[in-house]
């Protein structure tokens, strides 16, 4: 991995925090340094005495798999044991912490939101369905898949990016199927049914630029109540969640398509490309043209 990508992934997690931290790691920058990031559990945990304090990632989706050893995960305030063979799905904005047994072996795969959006184009509500923080039981297939991701990530073989994207799709597909088959009512933790439905509605309507009031009306609740629910579940207002989804799609198009900036603006429902550029610059800190040039 390029040195830039490594630096973006570093986080200085302290064992005692006065409040939950939001870390800027791989993918949370003005450009995308690599397809994904994969490291062993020991790589980071050994530096912190096998304990990672509560934190969240704004634009990262993480999948952690324990091949040997174990520990405990706290996801959105609820603690679960992690025996050997556990797979932990941690979507963006979900508060999480870990306490591992010494010498636990396994891997942490981290994917930027833009990659998920690209992989799940045409996937219907899969994007929102994957937004469930939970612990699953890994089988041989997914264990081998994650191990292969780590091997491919660590090497610099031909077609590396293509292979990593393919393996990422396999991993996410496995997680989505397990979530669909799960009968555990508490798998969603604090992510209420209303917030989940709101996320599904965003996927269907963000290009139409629905207002918070329109989403609230579709859910039969007030805009104030909707924002209260989203802040409790994700730490963001309803408006910010809508804007974030729109800007994720903008970054995906800039990173993975050859569409002109004007075409991207129209595709995303903007009637004025100049206004789209101003909105993107306000969100990302750089213009769409500069963002694309850095990739």
User: What CATH number should be reported for the domain holding residue 21?
Assistant: 2.60.120.280
Q: Which of 139, 159, 188 is the last residue of a domain?
A: 188
Question: Which pLDDT score, from 0 to 100, does residue 6 have?
Answer: 39
Question: Do 31 and 107 belong together in one domain?
Answer: yes
Residue 187: pLDDT over 80? no
DSSP for the chain, please give it: --HHHHHHH-----SS-SS-EEE--TT-SSS--SS-EEEEHHHHHGGGTTEEEEEEESSEEEEEEEEE--EEEEETTEEEEE-TTEEEEE-TT--EEEEEPTT-EEEEEEEEHHHHHHHTTT-TTHHHHT---EEEE--HHHHHHHHHHHHHHHS--TTHHHHHHHHHHHHHHHHHHHHHH---GGGGTT--HHHHHHHHHHHHHGGGT--HHHHHHHHTS-HHHHHHHHHHHHSS-HHHHHHHHHHHHHHHHHHH----HHHHHHHTT-S-HHHHHHHHHHHHSS-HHHHHHH-
pTM of this prediction exceeds 0.85: no
Question: Do 220 and 280 belong together in one domain?
Answer: yes
| Rounded average pLDDT over 230-258 | 92
Question: Do 140 and 284 belong together in one domain?
Answer: no
Which has the higher per-residue pLDDT, 167 or 17? 167
Question: Do 231 and 156 belong together in one domain?
Answer: no
Least confident among 78-82, 105-109, 165-169, 250-254:
78-82
Q: Which of 188, 214, 235 is the last residue of a domain?
A: 188
CATH number, domain of 289, equals: 1.10.10.60
Instruction: Report percent pLDDT > 70 for the chain.
Output: 85
Question: Do 182 and 50 belong together in one domain?
Answer: yes
pLDDT band at 254 (very low <50, low <70, confident <90, very high): very high
Rounded to whole angstroms, the Cα distance separating 143 from 171 reads 9
Question: Do 46 and 179 belong together in one domain?
Answer: yes
Q: Which of 157, 188, 219 is the last residue of a domain?
A: 188
Question: Which pLDDT score, from 0 to 100, does residue 1 have?
Answer: 40
| Rounded average pLDDT over 238-258 | 93
Question: Do 201 and 170 belong together in one domain?
Answer: no
Question: Do 180 and 261 belong together in one domain?
Answer: no
Arithmetic mean of pLDDT over the chain: 84
How are beta strands 51-57 and 96-100 bridged, if at all?
antiparallel
Q: Which pLDDT tens digit goes with each residue over 191-237? A: 468 888 899 899 989 999 999 999 988 888 888 889 989 988 888 99
Residue 253: pLDDT over 80? yes
Q: Give the range of the structural domain holding residue 109, as residue numbers without chain letter.
A: 3-188
Residue 270: pLDDT over 70? yes
Residue 153: pLDDT over 70? yes
What total of structural domains would you count in the chain? 2
Question: Do 42 and 77 belong together in one domain?
Answer: yes
Residue 90: pLDDT over 80? yes
Question: Do 213 and 268 belong together in one domain?
Answer: yes
| Rounded average pLDDT over 140-164 | 94
Residue 257: pLDDT over 80? yes
Question: Do 65 and 151 belong together in one domain?
Answer: yes
Question: Which pLDDT score, from 0 to 100, does residue 4 have?
Answer: 34
Residue 98: pLDDT over 50? yes
Question: Do 167 and 45 belong together in one domain?
Answer: yes
């Amino acid at each position: 991995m390029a040195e830039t990508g490594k630096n973006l992934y570093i986080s200085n997690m302290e064992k005692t925090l006065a409040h939950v931290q939001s870390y800027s790691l791989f993918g949370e920058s003005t450009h995308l340094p690599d397809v994904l990031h994969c490291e062993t559990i020991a790589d980071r945990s050994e530096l912190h005495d096998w304990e990672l304090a509560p934190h969240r990632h704004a634009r990262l989706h993480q999948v952690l798999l324990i091949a040997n050893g174990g520990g405990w995960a706290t996801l959105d305030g609820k603690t679960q044991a992690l025996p050997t063979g556990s797979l932990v799905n941690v979507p963006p904005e979900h508060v999480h912490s870990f306490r591992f047994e010494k010498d636990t072996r396994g891997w942490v795969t981290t994917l930027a939101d833009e990659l998920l959006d690209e992989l799940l184009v045409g996937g219907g509500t899969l994007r929102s369905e994957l937004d469930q923080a939970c612990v699953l039981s890994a089988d041989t297939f997914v264990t081998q898949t994650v191990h292969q991701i780590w091997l491919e990530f660590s090497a610099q073989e031909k077609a590396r990016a293509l292979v990593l994207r393919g393996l990422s799709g396999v991993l996410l597909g496995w997680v989505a199927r397990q979530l669909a088959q799960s009968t555990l009512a508490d798998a969603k933790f604090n992510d209420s049914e209303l917030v989940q439905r709101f996320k599904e509605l965003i996927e269907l309507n963000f290009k139409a630029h629905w207002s918070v009031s329109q989403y609230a009306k579709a859910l039969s609740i007030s805009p104030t109540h909707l924002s209260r629910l989203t802040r409790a579940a994700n730490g963001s207002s309803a408006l910010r969640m809508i804007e974030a989804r729109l800007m994720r799609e903008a970054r995906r198009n800039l990173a993975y398509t050859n569409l002109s900036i004007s075409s991207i603006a129209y595709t995303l429902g903007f009637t004025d490309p100049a206004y789209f550029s101003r909105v993107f610059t306000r969100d990302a800190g750089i213009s769409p043209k500069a963002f694309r040039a850095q990739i």
